């Protein structure tokens, strides 16, 4: 997870400097929501992270909100793709409930990713306010 945070902190100021992001989003890190194994349910902590991202999104009404869903490598490819989609959709729905316009939200299930240090890191959704299109 450390590599992800470092690359986000480095990349966003570069994009802002090029005029691709509003200046006030340049220092904003990716918000990360973690899930338990085989679950797409948001717990209280997860809802707090999503609400924080929704507040930022509402303060920047023209910025896209990209929601990337991930799963751990256990299980089959189709199962993990569906689980990563269910996680991303749960976060997107909470963003909508928190007042973010649905048309601004881009949902992208990524499927399984390898563990970095512990399984929880792979069971996540990343929320990028002002992050542009999801990577391919």
Burial of 90 (0-12, 13-18, 19+ CB in 10 A): buried
Query: Which residues make Cβ contacts (< 8 Å) with residue 42, sequence separation at least 6?
Result: 33, 50, 90, 91, 94
Query: Is 20 contained in some domain?
Result: no
Is the model's pTM score more than 0.85? no
Query: Is 17 contained in some domain?
Result: no
Domain span at residue 67 reads: 30-129
CATH number at residue 94: 3.30.1330.60
Q: What is the pLDDT of residues 10-20, one digit of tens each?
A: 333 333 333 34
**Domain count across the chain:** 1
Determine the average pLDDT of the residues in 117-124. 85
Copy the structure tokens of residue 27. 């220092």
Structure letter (DSSP) for residue 30: P
Query: Is 16 contained in some domain?
Result: no
Q: What is the pLDDT of residues 51-83, one digit of tens each?
A: 999 999 999 999 999 999 999 998 899 999 999
Can you give the pLDDT at residue 28?
74
């Amino acid at each position: 997870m450390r590599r992800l945070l470092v690359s986000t902190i480095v990349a966003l100021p570069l994009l802002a400097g090029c005029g691709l992001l509003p200046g006030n989003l340049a220092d904003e890190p990716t918000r990360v929501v973690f899930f338990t194994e085989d679950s797409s349910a948001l717990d209280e902590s997860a809802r707090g992270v999503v609400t924080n991202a929704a507040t930022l999104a509402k303060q920047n009404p023209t910025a896209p909100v990209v929601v990337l869903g991930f799963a751990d490598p256990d299980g089959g490819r189709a199962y993990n793709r569906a689980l990563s989609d269910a996680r991303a959709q749960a976060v997107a729905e909470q963003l909508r409930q928190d007042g973010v316009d649905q048309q601004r939200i881009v949902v992208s299930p990524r499927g399984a990713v390898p563990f970095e240090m512990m399984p929880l890191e792979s069971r996540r959704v990343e929320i990028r306010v002002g992050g542009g299109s999801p990577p391919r």
